Amino acid sequence: MSLSRTRIVSIGEVMIEMARGSDGRFGQACGGDTFNTAVYLARHGLEVAYATALGDDPYSDGIVALASAEGIASDLILRIPNRLPGLYLIETDAAGERSFQYWRDASPARELFEFPDWNRVAEAMLAARLIYFSGITLSLYSNAGLGRFLAILEMARQAGAIVAFDGNYRPRGWKGDIQRTRTVFVEALKRVDIALPTFDDEALLWGDISSEATVERLQAFGIAEIVVKNGPNSALVSSAAQQEFVAVPNVVVPIDTTAAGDSFNAGYIAARLAGGNPADAAIAGHKLASEKILHRGAIMPRTAQAVH
């Protein structure tokens, strides 16, 4: 990989977040799985750009301002006149588990690879050090958009980019069409170097009975590095060197599990890019996720994040 490749390109959707606090009132922020990971990667001092499409409204302005404040490059955020970003509400139960309601069908992020400027994102992908996306990213696009995205992903990988993918399966985003979901995932998995799935998602989409079964299925695609997250339980890390369960160093009682997996992924990727081995990188991911779930919302205060 060329030393000139320094940039991580994270691709997906960032939305307005309305989260109900302990007082019953909603607080406004923003979030989205790949955006959350981009924030936590940037906080590690990595060069990160976020690729999406937003409107030309004040809420979109606020999202771009947050990205800039977090050190995320916004040159790959397309601004579309007379459009609005998606919106979601989070309700959190007594155990810290969350439920979501979405208003996102008209989000411009869904057409990222169909707008006239989509080649700007494509060029950045071809020059990236690492490309990060998720199953939610895939759920956004039409077949035409997916065709473009997957083609560029393949070319970028051939040019030297590392491709990292979190399965992040949300049935509602696929309108219950499990066959289309599986077909799209299969095409994406053919182009992945680092898989960062969550076991519950894999069991739901593929019927996997164990983390080992998930690893075996993903290895069939030629994916050399796999980390199966499993909440407070050990993550199963599989690489060319070995396969092992890596325990959570410090299990905490969560306040809000939103973005637990997103922050884990950032901790893992940052540690790997810094030269750490997969097992140590999983520990770094566990530690960051453990800090995140002690805070409400997708993005914890910067002062709360210790970089490992």
Domain ranges of the chain: 7-304
Please give the structure tokens belonging to residue 273. 């890019």
Average pLDDT score over residue span 69-86: 97
Query: Do 122 and 156 touch, CB atoms closer than 8 A?
Result: no
Task: Identify the pLDDT of residue 20.
Answer: 81
The pLDDT of 102-108, averaged and rounded, is: 94
- Evaluate if residue 304 carries a pLDDT over 70: no
* Res 1 pLDDT > 60: no
Q: Is the pLDDT of residue 97 over 90?
A: no
Token pair 């494509």 is found at: 122
Rounded average pLDDT over 190-200: 98
Lowest mean pLDDT among 16-20, 34-38, 163-167, 301-305: 301-305
Residue 21 has pLDDT above 80, yes or no: no
Higher model confidence: residue 277 or residue 23?
277
CA 164, CA 80: separation in Å to the nearest integer? 28
Predicted pLDDT at 2: 42
Kindly write down the DSSP assignment for every residue of 243-301, as one continuous string: EEEE--SS----S--TTHHHHHHHHHHHHHHTT--HHHHHHHHHHHHHHHTTSSSSS--
Q: Where are the beta strands (DSSP E) in the chain?
A: 7-11, 15-20, 26-31, 47-54, 72-73, 77-79, 87-92, 98-103, 130-134, 162-166, 194-195, 225-228, 235-238, 243-246
User: What tens digit of pLDDT does each residue of 232-260 get?
Assistant: 999 999 998 789 999 999 888 888 888 89
| pLDDT score of 24 | 83
Q: Which run of H or of E encompasses 185?
A: helix 178-189
Q: What's the whole-number mean pLDDT along residues 36-53?
A: 98
CA angle 161, 163, 167 (to 5 degrees): 170
CA–CA distance, 272 with 130 (Å, rounded to integer): 11
**What's the pLDDT score for residue 27?**
87
Kindly list the catalytic residues: 262
Residues written for the chain: 308
Confidence of residue 23 (pLDDT cuts 50, 70, 90): confident
Higher pLDDT: 17 or 150? It is: 150
What is the edge-to-edge ordering of all strands in the sheet holding 87-92?
Answer: 26-31, 15-20, 87-92, 98-103
- Range name among 82-91, 185-194, 259-268 with the lowest pLDDT average: 82-91
pLDDT for 305 equals: 65
Q: 132 — phi, psi (to 5°)?
A: -125, 130
pTM of the predicted protein model? 0.94
Rounded to whole angstroms, how far apart are CA atoms 85 and 267? 27
How deeply is 257 buried, as exposed, middle or buried, from its count of CB atoms within 10 A (0-12, 13-18, 19+)? middle
Sequence-distant (6+) residues with CB within 8 A of 155 are 126
Burial-class residue 107 by CB neighbours within 10 Å (0-12, 13-18, 19+): buried
Query: Which CATH superfamily does the domain covering 7-304 fall into?
Result: Ribokinase (3.40.1190.20)
Query: 41 versus 306: which is more confidently predicted?
Result: 41
